[in-house]
Amino acid sequence: MDACTTLGAKFEDWQALGLDEERCPVRNLLDQIGDRWSMLLLAALAGGPKRFSALARAVPDISKRMLTQTLRMLEVSGLVHRDVQPTVPPSVTYSLTPLGRSFAGPLLGLVDWAETHFAAVVEARAQAKKAA
Amino acid sequence: MDACTTLGAKFEDWQALGLDEERCPVRNLLDQIGDRWSMLLLAALAGGPKRFSALARAVPDISKRMLTQTLRMLEVSGLVHRDVQPTVPPSVTYSLTPLGRSFAGPLLGLVDWAETHFAAVVEARAQAKKAA
DNA sequence: CTGAATCCTATGCGATACTG
DNA sequence: CAGTATCGCATAGGATTCAG
């Protein structure tokens, strides 16, 4: 049974349960990390702990507001650990929890797909634009 | 080298290239399928071709507007094929292209992670709420 | 340095009504 | 049946300023 068939079967199961946002793990996950920044920050932290300002530099086009907000959400969900050093000036280090690290595998799968098939997607979009 | 380290290394590479939205495959993918419906519709189609109204029933809380819009985007990106039967009344069937099917693997990885670790995430959120 | 607070704009997305 | 068109709100999220 290939991945496609398996996925189709799983979808049937969720559907039978009403695809409820609260109960369905997949809907829940998508609500969590289906935003513009979550996956990117998890990837940024995969290499090791980073400080707030280092993360801000690593992802140039994120605002401080969204950086704080996204990290908080990831922390609440148990994917990221926030370590505050009570120095002056304060120093805050973020790192992946074991749960966060366990997410690296699936995320890497997505990343690999993106890199492998990026050219095909660009090509498809070019074709579509030409047809229009 | 585990997935976490690999992912960290890849992020360094993207960072070196400026994490450009146009050029970075990952940013591009996230812009595409990082919305509320794309991944869900791809999963819904993984089991086989479905008609427009069947998809609308499969995902109860999607509006016709978003269903159309999301399917169009997936079609333009080459992940979904749209087959129009010029009958009366018209019948339109959507299916995954080979490119779309190739995405089932990575997507299944994400789904499996969600199902496996859902309980842990819920637990973490409960702890965070209690602390607050 | 690491945020919190406030303000403001863009737009995602649902609801509704209409068409071929 | 399978959309399209229009309206309108709720929210995402950037810019800026203040604080510990």
Give the per-residue pLDDT at B51: 97
Tens of pLDDT, residues A47-65: 999 999 999 999 989 999 9
Give the per-residue pLDDT at B23: 86
Tell if A92 CB is < 7 Å from nucleic strand C: yes
At position B70, the amino acid (one-letter code) is T
Tens of pLDDT, residues A8-37: 999 999 999 888 878 899 999 888 888 889
Tell if A84 CB is < 7 Å from nucleic strand C: yes
d(CA A11, CA A90): 47
Q: Are B103 and B35 in contact (CB under 8 A)?
A: no
Q: Are A39 and A107 in contact (CB under 8 A)?
A: yes
Report the chain B residue with the minimal C-alpha distance to residue A101.
B4
Is there a cis peptide before residue B89, judged by omega within 30 degrees of 0? yes
Residue B82 has pLDDT above 90, yes or no: yes
**Residue (of B11, B1, B109, B33) closest to A121 by Cα position:** B33
**Residue (of B109, B112, B101) closest to B42 by Cα position:** B101
Tens of pLDDT, residues B44-81: 999 999 999 999 999 989 999 999 999 999 999 999 99
Tokens found for residue A58: 């690593």
Torsion, Cα of A62, A66, A67, A73 (10° steps): -140
d(CA A93, CA A23): 32
Interface contact A54, partner B, CB < 8 A: no
b/e sequence A81-119, b meaning 16+ C-beta within 10 Å: beeeeeeeeeeeebebbebbbbbbbbbbbbbbbbbebbe
Nucleotide C5 C1' to residue A6 CA (A): 48
At position B102, the amino acid (one-letter code) is S
Q: What is the pTM of this model?
A: 0.93
Tokens found for residue B50: 């479905």
Given B25, B78, B120, which is nearest A78 (Cβ)? B120
Q: Are A56 and A64 in contact (CB under 8 A)?
A: yes
Report the chain B residue with the minimal C-alpha distance to residue A3.
B105
Test B96 with A30 for CB contact under 8 angstroms.
Answer: no
Nucleotide D2 C1' to residue A40 CA (A): 37
Task: Provide the total of helices (H) and of strands (E) in chain A, helices listed first.
Answer: 7, 3
